Amino acid sequence: MCNCYFHECEKCAKEVPVHIGDFRYPTDDLKVWCGEHLPRLKATIFTLIEDEELWPGEKHTEYPMGWKCAIRLRGGKIEPDSNDVSPNLAASYEITVLD
């Protein structure tokens, strides 16, 4: 089971779709930013590079290629190869970890 929900951007309260695998972390352990308010340090940036079909012939319309968000996990980094914490979209991402 996973926790899939919308988390508000830290700057503007815009909703960002978030996935927490196996309920590993409480939602309070995350800070999330929309693509317009990306932080400069200590976060993982997710950039949408490939949109997968939700159902045959249906793709995301509100999250275009190049869509970005940032997520920071309290007390640790999000590992790029894990599925612990990520945007909740059927898509592939380019992942950049900011130290």
> What span, in angstroms and rounded, lies between the C-alpha atoms of 81 and 38?
21
So what's the pLDDT on residue 56?
61
The pTM for the full model equals 0.87
What domain range is 37 assigned to?
A: 2-98
Determine the 3-state secondary structure of 93 from DSSP: strand
For residue 53 the two structure tokens come to 């079909």
Q: Tell me whether residue 53 is exposed, middle or buried, using C-beta atoms within 10 angstroms of its C-beta: 0 to 12, 13 to 18, 19 or more.
A: exposed
Determine the 3-state secondary structure of 87 from DSSP: strand
Q: Per-residue pLDDT for the chain (99 aa), expressed as one digit of tens each?
A: 889 999 999 999 999 999 998 898 999 999 999 999 999 989 999 999 887 666 566 666 678 889 999 999 987 777 766 678 999 887 888 999 888
Check residue 77 and report its DSSP letter. P
For residue 81 the two structure tokens come to 């190869």
| Residue count of the chain | 99
Domain count, the chain: 1
